[in-house]
Amino acid sequence: MMGSALDPGLVLDALSVIAWTALPDGRVDFVNRKWSEYTGHDLAASSGSQWQGAVSADDLPELVERRRAIFAAGEPGGIAARLRRFDGAQRWFDIQISPIRDASGEIVRWFFLCIDIEDRKRDEITLAESERHLNETINALPALIWSARPDGTGEFYNQYYLDYLGRTLSQVRDYEWTKAVHPDDLPGLLAAWSEIMASRMPGAAEARMQRYDGQYRWFLFRTSPLRDQDGNVVKWYGINIDIDDRKRAEEELRRSEAFLAEGQALARMGNFTWDADTDEIAWSEQIYHIFDFEPGTPVSLERIAERSHPEDMGFIAQFIEQGRRGESDIECQHRLLMPDQSVKHLHLIAHRATDRPDRNEYRGTTLDISQRRSSEEALDRARAELSHVARVMSLGALTASIAHEVNQPLAGIVTNASTCLRMLAAEPPNIEGAQETARRTIRDGNRAADVIARLRTLFTKRSATIEPVDLAHTARDIIALMQSDLDRARVVMRMEFAEGLPFAGCDRVQVQQVIMNLLRNAADAMSTVNDRPRRVTVKTEAGSNETVRLSVRDSGIGFDPQDAQRLFDAFYTTRRDGMGIGLAISRSIIESQNGRLWAELPADGPGAIFSFSLPVYGA
């Protein structure tokens, strides 16, 4: 069966897309139903050039121009334009324009087909917008962001990158950015970059880059590859972070830590923290060194106890006890017994941390005072030896000068006496000669006596400078000077100085010697006393007849009352290593300054009292 010829208008009406036809001169001669539905205009309202009213005013000039070009070329073509809907809304359409020719090839009509591309167009716009937004974000990010091609040449740099370095894109693209890298860091950075590229894995490196103001700052370069489906790197993304401040702070910290460690080593000092509740202990490196423990190994009270000197465990126990009680400042001195049997002296000081009141935590310092100790001991020994030498020397010098002065007359006496004997034994005896030599013997004898007398006056009436002397002040000086001796002898000092006492008129240095001697004797007299405190009381007071008095009372073994005078005799001593001249010299010194020195036994309790009185200055 044969069908009837189809009306092309019916076909176009059935299309769900907008379509129309125009005569070769452009006048519209047909619109399909979809056009009418969309624009709300029928053919009558669209014919000729009225259809243009349905095109967005913004797109019309371009559409008209494009149509003219297509018509002129006689070839199909297309253009995108917005068409206004009946309700005023506008949508994008892709308008395809094609010529319809007759059998002879003549163009008889132009066919317009419009495909709605609004949704696609909108997607494109959103994409472009989000791309723009991303770009803005990347450019505004306060970080140096870049991308590079697979061969490592720079491709993209965000605005911040360019601003920060103060360079234009052409000054950083490809490998130009290397000119901003510090010359010292460039070889290392390039090597790292090659390595990262070869690994095709994310990587990082550090180098200095020159900022817009010329200052080089440290940057951390981080990069990750973007790969395609086959795993090939198509791009490198990178970010450079300014770590200069951090680096500087790290450097500063490292330096100050080094300073601290060095200072601690020099001072033989270490720091520690101790939680007195949990016994958690943290040590600085130097304490490990002092204890000779492997640095960083855990520290416990047991380990400390093991290394401590057995005799000093009590001090440590007391220190711990005070910490457990939460006392704010604790301190102790103790010794360490090292594996090689050597001994170290330590001084521990700790303070309860106030910034963590909920915890009983102490922060403290351990000082290795071994060196100080041994030099103190050496100093003490030297001082003791010195004063002993001084005692021996004064005696030795005295003996030598006596011997020297007396020897000559004595030699003379011996020579004269033997000459005298020889003359008397002669036949006949030379009486005259003998008388003469006997006279010379007497003369030499007198001369020897003179020497002794002169020495005595020299010894007892040594010329002294009389000056105003504050006895309390002088005593305090001497006690301070002898402090370590007195401490070692476990002497407890007490001072009772009368207020407003006048000055004594005497030679200060010589009186110092006397006080020192009395204190030393007092300490000696108590050296065997163990059942009572070894107490020494130094007292100053006013005496009768314009005198001032100083007395030294001890709690020692005392003396036999019968010996009260003999003590002052030269060479009288009851001590094994004594010389017995201390009191003799002291008395001669005091008497040479018109004073008095005496000994008595206390009315109450053991010991002895040695006192001297001196005239008030100017009396």
Rg (CA), the chain: 59
Residue 426: CB minimum distance to ligand ADP, A: 52
Question: Of the two residues 97 and 585, which places its CB atom closer to ligand ADP in the complex?
Answer: 585
Cα torsion through 49, 55, 58, 60, rounded to 10: -40
- Cα angle 171, 243, 183; round to 5: 45
CA nearest neighbour of 408 among 454, 438, 446: 446
The number of beta carbons lying within 10 Å of the beta carbon of residue 149 is 14
Instruction: Give the bridge partners for 100, in sequence order.
Output: 109
Q: How far apart are CA 548 and CA 617, in angstroms?
A: 9
Q: How far is CA 342 from CA 238, 312, 346, 432, in A?
A: 61, 15, 13, 82
Q: How far is CA 344 from CA 124, 289, 291, 366, 372, in A?
A: 84, 12, 9, 12, 11
Residue 556: CB minimum distance to ligand ADP, A: 5
Q: Which token pair is 199?
A: 């690994």
Are 216 and 209 in contact by the 8 Å Cβ rule? The answer is yes
Question: Of the two residues 158 and 521, which places its CB atom closer to ligand ADP in the complex?
Answer: 521
CA nearest neighbour of 28 among 56, 62, 55: 55
CA nearest neighbour of 598 among 542, 549, 537, 544: 549
Q: How far apart are CA 155 and CA 165, in angstroms?
A: 16
Residue 384: CB minimum distance to ligand ADP, A: 14
Question: Of the two residues 86 and 571, which places its CB atom closer to ligand ADP in the complex?
Answer: 571
Question: Of the two residues 274 and 610, which places its CB atom closer to ligand ADP in the complex?
Answer: 610
Question: Of the two residues 318 and 574, which places its CB atom closer to ligand ADP in the complex?
Answer: 574
Question: Of the two residues 50 and 527, which places its CB atom closer to ligand ADP in the complex?
Answer: 527
Interhelix angle 431-460/370-425, nearest 10 degrees: 160
Question: Of the two residues 332 and 514, which places its CB atom closer to ligand ADP in the complex?
Answer: 514
Question: Of the two residues 138 and 523, which places its CB atom closer to ligand ADP in the complex?
Answer: 523
Give the position of tokens 């006689």.
74
Residue 467: CB minimum distance to ligand ADP, A: 26
Are 157 and 145 in contact by the 8 Å Cβ rule? The answer is yes
Residue 604: CB minimum distance to ligand ADP, A: 16
Q: How far apart are CA 101 and CA 75, in angstroms?
A: 11
Question: Of the two residues 355 and 577, which places its CB atom closer to ligand ADP in the complex?
Answer: 577
Q: How far apart are CA 92 and CA 114, in angstroms?
A: 9
Are 233 and 226 in contact by the 8 Å Cβ rule? The answer is yes
Residue 550: CB minimum distance to ligand ADP, A: 14
- Return phi, psi of residue 529, to 5°: -85, 120
Question: Of the two residues 344 and 539, which places its CB atom closer to ligand ADP in the complex?
Answer: 539
Residue 513: CB minimum distance to ligand ADP, A: 12
Residue 296: CB minimum distance to ligand ADP, A: 58
Q: How far apart are CA 337 and CA 318, in angstroms?
A: 19
Residue 582: CB minimum distance to ligand ADP, A: 3
Are 414 and 440 in contact by the 8 Å Cβ rule? The answer is no
Residue 569: CB minimum distance to ligand ADP, A: 8
Residue 475: CB minimum distance to ligand ADP, A: 16
Query: Three-state DSSP class for 96?
Result: strand
Residue 391: CB minimum distance to ligand ADP, A: 8
Question: Of the two residues 1 and 576, which places its CB atom closer to ligand ADP in the complex?
Answer: 576
Q: How far apart are CA 116 and CA 89, in angstroms?
A: 13
Question: Of the two residues 177 and 610, which places its CB atom closer to ligand ADP in the complex?
Answer: 610
The number of beta carbons lying within 10 Å of the beta carbon of residue 81 is 19
Count the helix, strand and coil residues of the chain and give each as a percent rounded to the nearest 5: 45, 25, 30
Give the position of tokens 């907008």.
18
Question: Of the two residues 475 and 567, which places its CB atom closer to ligand ADP in the complex?
Answer: 567
Question: Of the two residues 248 and 575, which places its CB atom closer to ligand ADP in the complex?
Answer: 575
DSSP 8-state code for residue 202 = -
Residue 304: CB minimum distance to ligand ADP, A: 45
- Strand ranges in 102-141 using DSSP code E only, listed in sequence order: 107-116
Instruction: Give the bridge partners for 116, in sequence order.
Output: 93
Residue 530: CB minimum distance to ligand ADP, A: 16
Which stretches of the chain bind ligand ADP, using CB under 6 A?
A: 521-522, 525, 554, 556-559, 567, 572-575, 578-584, 608, 610
